[in-house]
């Protein structure tokens, strides 16, 4: 029997050759040992899935928490006004582009 270090040094081709060798005897009670080996995998899989679900819910909960609040109403008003100005600028920019596209569309329809 080879040691773990010897097995780790084997190439893929050597491992495939050993796996295909039918002269290596397989223990008769191997099927009896397999179900007991699957139990830790099931437990680990369930624990990993639970950890992922918990992480998602923690991330969602933190996403709904406000990043900052204001004690001063004047600062809060200034922040809202700033945000609305940015939105207004974006809408105005989009409307200018829409007007340009509309005039181009009208020119194309004129020639039809």
Residues 58, 50 contacting (CB under 8 angstroms): no
The domain ranges of the chain are 70-112
Check residue 12 and give its pLDDT: 84
- Segment 89-109 mean pLDDT: 79
32-72 pLDDT, tens digit per residue, is: 655 555 557 677 788 888 888 887 777 766 656 666 678 88
């Amino acid at each position: 029997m080879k040691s773990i270090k010897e097995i780790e040094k084997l190439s893929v081709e050597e491992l495939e050759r050993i796996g295909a060798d039918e002269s290596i005897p397989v223990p008769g009670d191997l099927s009896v040992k397999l179900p007991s080996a699957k139990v830790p995998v099931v437990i680990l899989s369930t624990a990993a899935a639970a950890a992922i679900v918990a992480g998602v819910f923690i991330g969602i909960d933190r996403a709904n928490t406000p990043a900052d609040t204001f004690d001063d109403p004047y600062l809060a008003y200034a922040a809202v006004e700033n945000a609305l100005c940015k939105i207004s600028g974006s809408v105005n920019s989009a409307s200018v582009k829409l007007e340009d596209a509309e005039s181009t569309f009208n020119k194309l329809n004129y020639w039809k």
